[in-house]
Chains A and B, each alone.
Chain A
């Protein structure tokens, strides 16, 4: 079975540019999570969706960050404009909410803003 699929794997861009990260959850999962991981702050939840609806976006750092889930098999996390402090590894995870199944993580996108 395919796991959570994220793209791109690596992204290097200059500050001020728009960045779009993509995620395809595991088929049949109804909850999707976006995390950011840095050495300083560890793994932080940015936003999560249940049945394509955002449930908690309190972790989104500021208005430059936005996330969408137009259907059950696709989500995007967008940063516009990007800044060097956004450099991190961004993970997407999915699960079935309320089940006894753990969240499964994608391999992440390593983002570097120059």
Chain B
């Protein structure tokens, strides 16, 4: 059965700290890996990764995919209270009925204290 595992499940840090969130997957017919941020409402898209070793960056957030290790990390530097959210990792299938389908992990609940 296809599976996406995130760690840690929860994390509490102080403003200014750097955090690393982990995602590993066992998904056949891998097409892409996505990161979403969920505050109080809908998950909002952060990154889509398809190639190994190429870092994607947006401000203080960055992410990289390792297809050999079947994993990805999401880094947040100089954390702020506004970064407090659930971070979701999802993997997209490549063909047939899995094309376009996302397999989600349980998420990492990040809390940033002022």
* Chain A residues at the B interface, C-beta cutoff of 8 Å: 4, 31, 33, 42-45, 48, 50, 55-56, 91, 95, 97-98, 100, 102-108
A-side contacts of B44, CB under 8 Å: 105
Q: Does B16 contact A (CB under 8 A)?
A: no
A43-B88, A45-B102 as given contacts; A105 in contact with B42, CB under 8 Å: yes
Q: Do residues B42 and A108 form an inter-chain contact, with CB atoms below 8 A?
A: yes
Q: Is the CB of A42 within 8 A of B107?
A: yes
Cβ 8 A contact of B100, one of A31, A44, A107, A108: A31
Instruction: Check A104–B100 contact: CB distance below 8 A.
Output: no
- Looking at chain A's contact residues, the main secondary structure is strand
Q: Which of B32, B97, B100, B107 has the most CB of A within 10 A?
A: B100
Q: Please determine whether A55 and B97 come into contact, CB atoms closer than 8 angstroms.
A: yes
How many angstroms between the C-alpha atoms of A85 and B35 in the bound complex? 29
Q: Which residues of chain B come closer than 8 Å to A97, judged between CB atoms? A: 99-100
Interface residues of chain B, those whose CB is within 8 Å of chain A, are: 32, 34, 41-45, 48, 50, 88, 97, 99-107
- Check A102–B100 contact: CB distance below 8 A: no
Pairwise interchain contact A105-B99, C-beta atoms closer than 8 A: no
**Closest Cβ neighbor of A35 among chain B residues:** B104
Contact present for A100 and B100 (CB under 8 Å):
no
* Cβ A48 vs Cβ B100 within 8 A: yes
The residue of chain A having its C-beta at the shortest distance from the C-beta of B47 within the complex is A102
A4-B42, A91-B43 provided; 17 other pairs, C-beta below 8 A?
A31-B100, A42-B105, A43-B107, A44-B104, A45-B101, A45-B103, A55-B97, A91-B42, A98-B99, A103-B34, A103-B102, A104-B45, A105-B44, A106-B42, A107-B41, A108-B41, A108-B42
Could you tell me if B50 and A100 are in contact, using CB atoms closer than 8 angstroms? yes
User: What are the residues of chain A within 8 A of B41 when measuring CB–CB?
Assistant: 107-108
Q: Which residues of A contact B102 (CB under 8 A)?
A: 33, 45, 103
Bound together, the chains give a CA A7 to CA B102 distance in angstroms of 23
User: What is the CA–CA distance of A2 and B95 in the complex, to the nearest angstrom?
Assistant: 29
